Amino acid sequence: MTNNVADHHPGNSVAEGNHEGDFGCSMVELRNLMELRSAEAVARLNDSYGGVQNVCKRLKTSPVEGLSGNPTDLEKRRQVFGQNFIPPKKAKTFLQLVWEALQDVTLIILEIAAIISLGLSFYHPPGGDNELCGQSAGGVEDEGESQAGWIEGAAILFSVIIVVLVTAFNDWSKEKQFRGLQSRIEQEQKFTVIRKGQVIQIPVAEIVVGDIAQIKYGDLLPADGILIQGNDLKIDESSLTGESDQVKKSLDKDPMLLSGTHVMEGSGRMVVTAVGINSQTGIIFTLLGAGEGDEEKKVKKGKKTGAPENRNKAKTQDGVALEIQPLKSQEGVENEEKEKKKVKVPKKEKSVLQGKLTRLAVQIGKAGLIMSAITVIILVLYFVIDTFGVQGRPWLAECTPIYIQYFVKFFIIGVTVLVVAVPEGLPLAVTISLAYSVKKMMKDNNLVRHLDACETMGNATAICSDKTGTLTMNRMTVVQAYVGDTHYRQIPDPDAILPKILDLIVNGVAINSAYTSKILPPEKQAGLPRQVGNKTECALLGFVLDLKQDYQAVRNEVPEEKLYKVYTFNSVRKSMSTVLKNSNGGFRMYSKGASEIILRKCTRILDKNGDPRVFKVKDRDEMVKKVIEPMACHGLRTICLAFRDFPADAEPDWDSENEILSDLTCIAVVGIEDPVRPEVPDAILKCQRAGITVRMVTGDNINTARAIATKCGILLPGEDFLCLEGKEFNRLIRNEKGEVEQEQLDKIWPKLRVLARSSPTDKHTLVKGIIDSTVGDQRQVVAVTGDGTNDGPALKKADVGFAMGIAGTDVAKEASDIILTDDNFTSIVKAVMWGRNVYDSISKFLQFQLTVNVVAVIVAFTGACITQDSPLKAVQMLWVNLIMDTFASLALATEPPSESLLLRKPYGRNKPLISRTMMKNILGHAVYQLTIIFTLLFAGEKFFDIDSGRNAPLHSPPTEHYTIVFNTFVMMQLFNEINARKIHGERNVFEAIYRNPIFCTVVLGTFAAQIIIVEFGGKPFSCSGLTLSQWFWCIFIGVGELLWGQLICTVPTSHLKFLKEAGHGITKEEIPEEELPEDVDEIDHAEMELRRGQILWFRGLNRIQTQMDVVYTFQTGASSLQGALRRQPSIVSQHHDVKNVSSPTHVALSSVNSTPTTSAVAAAAASPPAGNQSGECVP
């Protein structure tokens, strides 16, 4: 088998870059070509185009030199074949968001009440001034006032509009931020292409058809293309086909590479044939409605674009593989069914915080509803009994409108109580807090892809970190070597090594490494040389340079096309080998890899004269003891270089890898140092103080791992911790059938600190085991870092997955929740700090909000029952609602984090949102505020010597008395907002207040607005101006809040046994068995409380909507879109925990998941499909 290299034609595009003629194939032809697979594709390529070389010719590009990079040529290609850009879904317009905000039930009720009130105020019945209608008409001082009845209704409408606009604006800015984030992630993705014979990296969006792209292990392909040359290339196409098996790509079997698929192994070059919406992923995105607008445009253009393509499709369809185009057979119908089910992307369980908040909001809402209903009933009954019973008046026809006006007023009061009771600011506070944190975390090198990851991080109890690049600098250098029976403790002098050994080292390193790895001159003078590509290979190349040799000369002599066969590095092999064909017809293979693995396959070793001598098992053991272990104990990675010659007479069977990789001759062993990042030990100490266990999971040798872990402070001297190798770990946790036993794992993980020589499966098993474990009182919340393609499953499984921004592969980034833009462990600690801060911000907001809620509801309720009129009017209530909801959420949710957050243990999943200390604060402040308000309400007129505002008739002008009540109420809230900054019972509430300018602005702004409302609000706000002394009293009572807060602090919480906590997470026992839904929809028990019927009804609607979408797609897309629809599950399937199986070792796991196994153990080990992991039902 030769090394898939197509013959190279000299037709070089650099000369033809400015060619005027059109390209030799159209976009549609190429698009049809890309729809074919395997043998069929090869046949079509050879018949219609004469092979991939001719495709390059037709596209005017050279397979070796690439495009010329001439701007006019590139622009022309963009016009003919499109740009590599998939237009995002249209953002919702501001008006749509306003419309959504209007859907809020309480707001709708208020609107209706306000409109009725407006209508009635304009309706003046004849005889309305009839004495018989009771006191309703009396007490109006002048005509002008009675005409002003409309003001209240209008003011309510106005405040509703403000609330709606604020909500919509918040949603809009959140959406905008998120889009900014997405586009930043997209811009950062670069890809390697060849232009003018130079290898350069360009942003993915700039790739054009005809570019020659270099692909390697870990890439996410950005466009469709045809393979020109490949080494051992394997692609995971599950994102398009849903098949988890990796597809081998080669020129003679299957050269088609599709965008959106992941390179799992190997490397190669491809010519780009389709980009953007014409690529396979693009077609699917268009189907899924990312380009819904474009669809409509297409339908309008109709004849222009749609028709010819469809005709072409129809022609080719007869011969097209049925796998792409299901006929309307049973299979087709089933697929459609699947589409309908799968379009609903399974979500992860709701984040801890969301779950707690939803429960709390539902509980508060229920209480508010009951209170408001009682208020309305009491008001109506009192009025009816008083008017018709006590006063004994008849119900007169002409009085009806007036009575109705009374009822409407009562209804409005009831609704206002409800509006104040329901904390609709909660979601707002959460959103603002998360959005603010995400924005600030960018500065701390955390690029958050999923908002809730930020808050989950605050609960993290365990971090499983990679070693290379995260804990260490990822700047590798060779510092020791064992060559020719001599152990050099530093880099040897080139003269000390025999020329023939030196030659083997140089060739073995230069040829047997990815040609993309190289060492470039430093950017700054006196800086370190830049390492590009794989860092371990760069260390070896650096070693060659240190030996005063030139690796580039060797590579120029042996270009990549001449390599006969390459076994690329992967996590199973842990080695890499390259075969060259000699001039005499024999072969020479160079190998390098982990020393213990390569040495096991060596039967000879070069002695000090450069001659091979026999290398027996006992020699190997001695070498491990004398050379490898001492290197590893200094924290060095040991790499062995070896070679093997094959005779010319018979070509070996290259596919039987075990035979090929044996009988090697060892050239040298080198020790590579990767120094620990200087800031890491400190960061790990912070984690340990914060109650977070740091574990190191690495592919390195156990001694190296132990040495680094000790340097970092993960292993402490004298502590009883475990360090295991992957093999040992598996032996301890699996039963004889090879299944993971949770109880065995539970014995190990609490003490495990280092897992060395681990495969990706081990990492996944460990993470899953810790998450599913029931050992502690809390479920563990696990964060994982990863950079390699093989880390995908573990990153997905973890509660928070961190991918490396610099060293990470696209696959890892795709599976992660947060991307560390500087690959540094300290950034994870920052993420923990921000996560805890989000949690605290929301608790602060709750503490403030609930105090206002309790007080406002009780005041409105008792006031209404005793004086038939709420002391706080509807409009005033809405203003209070606005300050406490929107503004307070802004002020309290943007508190910056402080280091002190890292001094306490994680909250855990079941810790209530409202601790007993907070409950003490809420009730304590409520008592103070209620006492003051009721005193003012019933004795205020005597104290201030003003007219009483109680029992005022309908439409009477606002009184000073009630204005003072309202003003004092708002002042107390303002000062209590400062108290709410601390939730753990700290005394100094002003601490670092200047660090939060938003908070200061909001408090001062609210104060200014309050002055304007009281002095100039007049009738709409039911306020009349106050004197200076009255103002001072109001403010003085407000300041009393701060003093009262100090008093509350002195009462120890432990004495108040009666205080209940609220807003718990959900424990497993609370959930009735039958409520654990089988499907993967979001589990949220708060919603279940609302009523299961309602949910079913929504689900039904959802299902119907999805079906409508599918039907619509089939109608508009006619035949051309069906083919792509068949592959549509793709995008969804990435979200399945189990589907994304990234290395062959995982396939076993996925099969366990899908087959119902009999033994109880297997049932425990096999996690159900994503969503509800093994019955774990924490919201």
Which amino acids are annotated catalytic?
Answer: 466
Q: How far apart (Å, rounded) are the C-alpha atoms in residues 929 and 221?
A: 63
Helices (H) and strands (E) in the chain, counts: 44, 26
CA dihedral of residues 839, 842, 848, 850 (deg, nearest 10): -100
Specify whether the backbone of 379 is left (phi greater than 0), alpha (psi in -120 to 50) or beta: alpha
Ordered DSSP codes for 356-382: HHHHHHHHHHHHHHHHHHHHHHHHHHH
C-alpha triplet 1085, 1089, 1090: angle, nearest 5°: 120
Positive or negative torsion for Cα 62, 67, 70, 76: positive
At 546, list the tokens: 């240190």
User: 3-class DSSP state for residue 796?
Assistant: helix
CA distance 918 to 937: 28
What count of other Cβ atoms lies within 10 Å of the Cβ of residue 40?
A: 16
Q: What are phi and psi of 285, to 5 degrees?
A: -60, -40
The three-state secondary structure class of 243 is coil
* Other beta carbons within 10 Å of 174: 18
What are the residues whose beta carbons fall under 8 Å from the beta carbon of 1008, sequence distance 6 or more? none
The candidate with the shortest Cα–Cα distance to 140, out of 870, 869, 952, 946, is 952
CA distance 706 to 723: 7
Pairing of β 752-756 and β 693-697: parallel
Q: Is 664 helix (H, G, I), strand (E, B) or coil?
A: strand
Q: Which two tokens stand for residue 196?
A: 């003018």
Rounded CA gap, 613 and 1043, in Å? 88
Nearest-CA neighbor of 924 among 974, 991, 969, 979?
979
Residue count of the chain = 1179
Where b means 16+ CB within 10 Å and e means fewer, 953-964 reads ebbbbbbbbbbb
Tell me the Ramachandran region of residue 188: left when phi exceeds 0, alpha when psi lies from -120 to 50, beta otherwise.
alpha
What is the crossing angle of helices 352-384 and 451-458, to 10°?
A: 100
* Residue 1093 amino acid letter: G
The order of strands in the sheet holding 818-820 is 446-448, 818-820, 800-804, 782-786, 462-465, 693-697, 752-756, 722-725
Amino acid residing at 583: S
The CA distance from 418 to 369, in Å, is 6
What is the residue whose two structure tokens read 């209070």? 880
| Selection from 628, 617, 726, 727 nearest residue 669 by Cα | 628
Position 53: which residue type? Answer: Q
Name the burial class of residue 144, with classes exposed (0-12), middle (13-18) and buried (19+) by CB atoms within 10 angstroms of its CB.
exposed
Q: Distance between CA atoms of 164 and 102, rounded to whole angstroms?
A: 6
d(CA 678, CA 153): 66
If one counts every other C-beta atom within 10 angstroms of the C-beta of residue 11, the result is 15
Query: Which strand (E) or helix (H) includes residue 317?
Result: helix 306-317
